[in-house]
């Protein structure tokens, strides 16, 4: 029989405000002493805290701060509201807002300052107007997933793909692939559909910037190959220098290859190739021989104008060069606007009529200054290559020539012949097949798709129905193709066969030929060897 003595236990509280269970001198508001604190007794000792499931804990209202419960199931309720922290079975206390899990083990809780850990679920840090700062002095002071992101606090650098950045920002793709793995993308949409990359330079400091002076390099993009056991920075790239007086935005653009300046667009838009001081819109300088300028103008909407400054007429220009022996070679190119009334454009070795275009008719002459046709050749011609014209469908005409050399065309024959040599499979002892399950008898770009054999009877010889499939481009119109079939015997056997045409049609994008083969010299026998089928296709254009 159990006797409830709880009322008697509370009597001392009337005088002292403290309650002791299993002791007469409580040391706190409630002091519980184990009945048997030592030994091997099996009677349970301890304090049983109220047990509830998550749904009950989530549903309670008016809960006082410091209330303690044991959640024995999280199968009910949801991890929201006051139960936002209740994700597993265990002890929880109420902090006035939500149930908080009691930490297991020592009195101090695990956190990123004292131990590693694993997130049990997604977490969000809401900073509002508060800041979150990290300080450090190590090379890899802060990192994400190893080398994915690394902050070098010792040198104030950031690395992506590396824990040892060698510049303010260092991005490394180490055998990660050649597609998006080594790309940098800046995408803009809607009102942000004009992304840009800007390199800015100023004197002074960030807090007190100072205007640049003329000749200061603003920035650049460079390409650095690994050569000689190191990255070579003196290679190819693009850079810009400030060319103003500290108040204007005058800047140039320079292009380098192999460590040398090759082209400049100066602050006024002039382009220099081989010179960094262009004197006109386009200035090309050949440094090897001292230089010859080429000047361009857009006068009268011309992209390039070569003009005789004396009389204003376009003239023939001579291009000169010297060979290894020092002999001068020249070619002539230009426009004579008055020749034959229409004017001509010409290319020549020495002033002869190597290539002449009549600017009125558009006729082109080879070795003649007065071409009468779109192409007029005065001399012998040679054609070193031509496409295959055996397909009459694509080449329905032939070329003919008049006495004066004028070319014309005539309609060619509308019938072409194509021949193939196919294989007739053996019949005796060789099972029939379908769906190209046997490939032994494929030949001359034709597959044997199936064979169906019929043994000889009293009134009929042995026969075989064969379906061949052409593996090239399907014939465009099988109805305009007329097959001629003959059976061949190169095996040394006395067999004689007759081939019969059944059909020619397109199936699944391929041309299929169906034939029947009969053995005729022996009406009572099949055949056990491989024979030949000669196919001649007469194709009507």
Radius of gyration of the chain (CA): 48
How far apart CA 514 and CA 50 sit, in angstroms, is: 88
Task: Please name the residues in contact with 283: beta carbons below 8 A apart, sequence gap of 6 or more.
Answer: 270, 271, 272, 273, 275, 293, 294, 295
Could you list the beta-strand ranges (E) of 337-462: 344-348, 355-358, 364-366, 375-377, 397-401, 407-411, 415-424, 446-454
Select from 328, 334, 367, 331 the least CA-distant residue to 349. 331
Q: Tell me whether residue 207 is in a domain.
A: no
pLDDT tens profile 185-209: 999 999 999 999 999 999 999 999 9
Among the residue ranges 56-65, 122-131, 176-185, 244-253, the one predicted with the least confidence is 176-185
Cβ count within 10 A of residue 56: 17
Q: What domain range includes position 66?
A: 51-101
**Which of 199-208, 312-321, 429-438, 512-521 shows the lowest per-residue confidence on average (mean pLDDT)?**
312-321
Judge whether 492 lies within some domain: yes
Please indicate, yes or no, if residue 62 is contained in any of the structural domains: yes
Tell me the backbone φ, ψ of residue 207, rounded to 5 degrees: -75, -30
Average pLDDT (362-373) is 90
Beta bridge partners of 446: 443, 470
- Token pair belonging to 127: 């900073």
pLDDT of residue 259: 92
Tell me: pLDDT of 292 over 60. no
Closest Cα partner for 156 from 173, 139, 132?
139
Q: Is residue 397 part of a domain?
A: no
Give the confidence band of 296 by pLDDT, cuts at 50, 70, 90.
very low
What's the rounded Cα separation, in Å, for the pair 251 and 243?
5
284/302 Cα distance (integer angstroms): 19
The residue whose two tokens read 């002292």 is 16
Number of domains comprising the chain = 4
Q: How many whole angstroms separate alpha carbon 300 and alpha carbon 321? A: 32
Same domain, 452 and 513: yes
pLDDT of residue 272: 92
Q: Point out which residues pair with 420 in neighbouring strands.
A: 535
Instruction: Name the most confidently modeled range: 33-42, 75-84, 105-114, 290-299.
Output: 75-84
Q: Could you tell me the pLDDT band of residue 309, with boundaries at 50, 70 and 90?
A: very low
- Residue range 56-60: average pLDDT? 95
Report the CATH number at residue 423.
Answer: 2.60.40
- The mean-pLDDT minimum among 91-95, 274-278, 294-298, 350-354 falls in 294-298
Token pair 């050649």: residue = 178
Residue 179 placed within a domain: no
Give pTM, 2 decimals.
0.43
pLDDT tens digits along 374-429: 999 998 888 887 887 766 667 777 788 888 888 888 776 677 789 999 999 999 88
Spatial CA neighbour of 282 closest among 301, 303, 251, 312: 303
Both tokens assigned to 352: 């002869």
Q: Are residues 152 and 95 in the same domain?
A: no
Kindly state whether residues 57 and 150 are assigned to the same domain. no
Region 487-513 average pLDDT: 89
């Amino acid at each position: 029989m159990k006797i409830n003595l709880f009322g008697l236990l509370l009597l001392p509280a009337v005088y002292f405000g403290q309650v002791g269970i299993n002791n007469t001198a409580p040391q706190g508001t409630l002091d519980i002493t184990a009945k048997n604190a030592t030994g091997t007794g099996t009677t349970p000792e301890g304090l049983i805290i109220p047990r509830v499931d998550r749904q009950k804990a989530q549903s309670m209202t008016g809960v006082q701060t410091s209330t303690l419960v044991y959640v024995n199931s999280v199968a009910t309720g949801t991890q929201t509201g006051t139960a936002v922290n209740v994700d597993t079975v265990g002890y929880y206390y109420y902090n006035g807002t939500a149930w908080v899990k009691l930490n297991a083990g020592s009195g101090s809780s695990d956190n990123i300052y004292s131990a590693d850990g694993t997130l049990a679920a997604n977490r969000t840090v809401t900073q509002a107007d508060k800041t979150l700062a990290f300080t450090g002095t190590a090379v890899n002071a802060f990192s994400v997933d190893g080398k994915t992101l690394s902050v070098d606090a010792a040198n104030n650098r950031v690395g992506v793909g590396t824990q040892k950045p060698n510049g303010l920002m260092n991005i490394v793709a180490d055998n990660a692939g050649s597609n998006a793995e080594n790309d940098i993308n800046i995408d803009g949409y809607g009102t942000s559909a004009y992304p840009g990359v800007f390199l800015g330079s100023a004197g002074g400091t960030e807090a007190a910037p100072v205007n640049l002076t003329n000749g200061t390099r603003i920035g650049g993009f460079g390409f650095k190959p690994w050569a000689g056991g190191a990255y070579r920075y003196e290679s190819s790239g693009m850079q810009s220098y400030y060319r103003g007086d500290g108040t204007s935005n005058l800047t140039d653009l320079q292009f380098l290859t192999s460590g040398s300046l090759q082209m400049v667009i100066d602050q006024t838009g002039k382009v220099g190739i081989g010179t960094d001081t262009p004197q006109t819109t386009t200035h090309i300088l050949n440094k090897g021989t001292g230089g010859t300028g080429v000047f361009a103008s857009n006068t009268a909407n011309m992209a390039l104008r070569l003009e005789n400054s004396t009389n204003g007429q376009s003239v023939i220009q001579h291009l000169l060069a010297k060979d290894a022996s020092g002999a001068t070679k020249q070619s002539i190119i230009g426009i004579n606007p008055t020749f034959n009334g229409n004017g001509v454009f010409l290319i020549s070795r020495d002033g002869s009529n190597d290539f002449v275009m009549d600017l009125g008719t558009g006729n082109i002459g080879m070795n003649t200054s007065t071409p009468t046709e779109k192409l007029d050749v005065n001399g012998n011609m040679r054609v070193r290559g031509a496409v295959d014209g055996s397909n009459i469908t694509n080449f329905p005409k032939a070329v003919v020539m008049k006495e004066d050399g004028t070319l014309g065309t005539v309609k060619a024959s509308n019938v072409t012949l194509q021949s193939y040599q196919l294989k007739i499979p053996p019949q005796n002892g060789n099972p029939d097949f379908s769906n190209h399950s046997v490939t032994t008898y494929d030949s001359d770009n034709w597959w044997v798709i199936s064979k169906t054999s019929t043994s000889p009877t009293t009134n009929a010889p042995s026969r075989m129905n064969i379906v061949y499939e052409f593996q090239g481009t399907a014939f465009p119109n099988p109805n305009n193709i007329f097959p001629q079939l003959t059976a061949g015997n190169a095996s040394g056997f006395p067999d004689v066969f007759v081939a019969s045409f059944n059909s020619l049609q397109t199936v699944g994008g391929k041309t299929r030929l169906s034939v029947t083969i009969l053995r005729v010299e022996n009406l009572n026998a099949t055949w056990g060897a491989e024979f030949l089928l000669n196919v001649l296709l007469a194709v009507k254009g």
